[in-house]
């Protein structure tokens, strides 16, 4: 009797420990990361109370550049004042989430990461542990609407969750000199705080997000400081274990930490290094920039805005061109990374017209050329004068290079520094037409004609009988 009970209880505990401890093998990790690595392109959504403020505070523009999801900090408002101004302006319309999901799908994104809570502390779900949430304020569970819509389009879903919190009355902002808070440098308004209570709340709220919404594919934590991070600041390992207990295959970023082993060299958004011990997360997170080279052995994702703010601002008109956005996606794929491209919907949930147009332009390009992005690996060349290259391994040792031509050759001959070019076959993706290839020592020359099929990026697929050998 006693023995049976022991076995019955002991077995699941063992299995659980196995799935949580650092017991994952390289093969298991590769299998878990596979969809994310193949996806290459995701849509980030920053949306919350700040969206209704739209970069304006008490009738005045706060600025026309920079993250307006930070508006509470920019104007140094306490949470009551911020809530009083922002809540009446946050007016999600019915069906907004379906528009996002369709937009992401049309753009060719394979996943959507949405702000479940940003630094201001306002949660978009119906939270039982908070009254600063969409459930309490609007009587709606916006996360439910978003998750359902995203899944209905066949896309993966991720939550961006800020561990910084400008609302919670036990969050000890004085513990870090580096982390922002609107009341920084001022005494706690409500007397002594107990940060452990905030951490309890953080865990409980994350637990709601990973319990009530079906499969969650990504947790995108934001963020930590060198002087306050990891286990000390957030009980980070426990938090990750809690999430993995519900979703063993989930993919998480590195931002519960800020140490060299987790890919951080400092506090800047570009202070990243090609280093990540898997116990700190699955990928590193260059923000608003693309690394100069790929990082073999380290998964990475560049997140980026289309103008200069994550949360909607009516004052920021510094929109990137379609050319920049499409070439960024290609540049990132050619270095083996993912592109998480942001939209900042307005108060009612509608995406700015500029973002809709940009996503549609990317989608039109991906419809023709997506094969040269999805499930590709970093190209073999260090540098190409005319553009970028991605590659795939095919069956039987064969391989395919995708040449993304930004600057079309004026003389109609595209030169590729390939040493084993004899017998390669070239095909223009846009038309499917074969192109004549001449191989000489150390290079091939493809007769591409003088007219660029696509002024932003035209792709030529090159089929090789073996792996590519780069000429030097």
Binding site for ligand H79 (CB under 6 A): 46, 66-67, 69-70, 222-223, 269, 287, 303, 310
In the complex, what is the shortest distance from the CB of residue 122 to ligand H79, in angstroms, rounded to a whole number?
13
CA distance 85 to 312: 16
CA distance 287 to 290: 8
In the complex with ligand H79, the residue whose CB is nearer, 66 or 363, is 66
In the complex, what is the shortest distance from the CB of residue 213 to ligand H79, in angstroms, rounded to a whole number?
21
In the complex with ligand H79, the residue whose CB is nearer, 286 or 379, is 286
Question: Which phi and psi (to 5°) does residue 263 adopt?
Answer: 95, 10
In the complex, what is the shortest distance from the CB of residue 381 to ligand H79, in angstroms, rounded to a whole number?
31
In 3D space, the residue among 122, 48, 33 whose CA is nearest the CA of residue 90 turns out to be 48
In the complex, what is the shortest distance from the CB of residue 269 to ligand H79, in angstroms, rounded to a whole number?
5
In the complex, what is the shortest distance from the CB of residue 389 to ligand H79, in angstroms, rounded to a whole number?
29
In the complex, what is the shortest distance from the CB of residue 46 to ligand H79, in angstroms, rounded to a whole number?
6
In the complex with ligand H79, the residue whose CB is nearer, 46 or 404, is 46
In the complex with ligand H79, the residue whose CB is nearer, 340 or 403, is 340
With a CB cutoff of 8 Å and minimum separation 6, the contacts of 278 are: 22, 24, 29
Contact predicate 408/448, CB 8 Å = yes
Helices (H) and strands (E) in the chain, counts: 13, 18
In the complex, what is the shortest distance from the CB of residue 222 to ligand H79, in angstroms, rounded to a whole number?
5
CA distance 181 to 82: 13
In the complex with ligand H79, the residue whose CB is nearer, 286 or 336, is 286
Contact predicate 423/437, CB 8 Å = no
In the complex with ligand H79, the residue whose CB is nearer, 208 or 222, is 222
In the complex, what is the shortest distance from the CB of residue 378 to ligand H79, in angstroms, rounded to a whole number?
24
Place of tokens 């040449």: 403
CA distance 254 to 244: 15
Q: Count the Cβ atoms, other than its own, within 10 Å of residue 99.
A: 16
In the complex with ligand H79, the residue whose CB is nearer, 44 or 96, is 44
In the complex with ligand H79, the residue whose CB is nearer, 67 or 135, is 67
3-class state of residue 290 by DSSP: coil
Question: Which phi and psi (to 5°) does residue 41 adopt?
Answer: -145, 125
CA distance 401 to 449: 20
10 Å CB burial of residue 196 (0-12, 13-18, 19+) is exposed
In the complex with ligand H79, the residue whose CB is nearer, 287 or 454, is 287
CA distance 46 to 386: 35
In the complex, what is the shortest distance from the CB of residue 66 to ligand H79, in angstroms, rounded to a whole number?
3
In 3D space, the residue among 46, 242, 244, 261 whose CA is nearest the CA of residue 161 turns out to be 46
């Amino acid at each position: 009797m006693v023995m049976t009970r022991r076995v019955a209880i002991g077995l699941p505990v063992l299995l659980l420990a196995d799935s949580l401890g650092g017991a994952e093998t390289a093969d298991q990790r590769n299998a878990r990361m596979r969809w994310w690595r193949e996806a290459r392109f995701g849509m980030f959504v920053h949306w919350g109370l700040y969206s209704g403020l739209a970069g304006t505070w008490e009738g005045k523009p706060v600025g026309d550049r920079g993250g307006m999801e930070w508006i509470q900090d920019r104007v140094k408002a306490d949470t009551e004042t911020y809530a009083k101004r922002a809540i009446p302006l946050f007016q999600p319309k019915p069906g907004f989430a379906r528009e996002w999901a369709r937009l992401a799908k049309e753009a060719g994104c394979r996943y959507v990461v949405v702000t479940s809570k940003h630094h201001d502390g306002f949660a978009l779900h119906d939270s039982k542990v908070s009254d600063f949430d969409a459930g309490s304020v609007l009587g709606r569970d916006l996360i439910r609407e978003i998750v359902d819509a995203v899944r209905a389009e066949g896309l993966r879903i991720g939550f961006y969750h800020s561990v910084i919190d400008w609302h919670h009355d036990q969050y000890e902002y004085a513990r870090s000199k580096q982390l922002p808070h609107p009341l920084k440098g001022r005494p706690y308004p409500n007397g002594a705080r107990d940060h452990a209570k905030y951490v309890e709340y953080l865990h409980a709220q994350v637990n709601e997000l990973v319990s009530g919404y079906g499969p969650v594919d990504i947790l995108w934590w934001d963020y930590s400081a060198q002087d306050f991070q990891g286990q000390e600041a957030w009980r980070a390992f426990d938090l990750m274990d809690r999430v993995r207990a519900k979703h063993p295959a989930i993919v998480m970023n590195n931002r519960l930490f800020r140490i060299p082993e987790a890919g951080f060299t400092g506090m800047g958004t570009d202070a990243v290094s090609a280093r990540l011990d898997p116990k700190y997360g699955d990928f590193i997170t260059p923000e608003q920039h693309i690394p100069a080279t790929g990082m073999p052995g380290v998964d990475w994702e560049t997140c980026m805005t289309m103008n200069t703010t994550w949360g909607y601002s009516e004052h920021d008109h510094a929109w990137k061109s379609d050319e920049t956005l499409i070439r960024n996606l290609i540049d990132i794929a050619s270095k083996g990374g993912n592109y998480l491209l942001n939209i900042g919907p307005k108060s009612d949930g509608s995406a700015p017209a500029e973002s809709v147009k940009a996503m549609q332009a990317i989608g039109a390009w991906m419809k023709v050329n997506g094969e040269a992005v999805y499930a590709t690996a970093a190209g073999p060349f260090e540098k190409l004068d005319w553009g970028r290259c991605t590659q795939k391994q095919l069956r039987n040792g064969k391989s395919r290079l995708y040449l993304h031509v930004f600057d079309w050759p004026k003389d109609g001959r595209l030169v590729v520094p390939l040493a084993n070019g004899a017998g390669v076959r070239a095909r223009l993706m846009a038309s499917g037409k074969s192109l004549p290839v001449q191989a000489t020592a150390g290079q091939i020359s493809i007769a591409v004609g003088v007219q660029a099929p696509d002024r932003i990026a035209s792709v030529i697929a090159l089929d090789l009988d073996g792996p590519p050998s780069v000429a030097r």
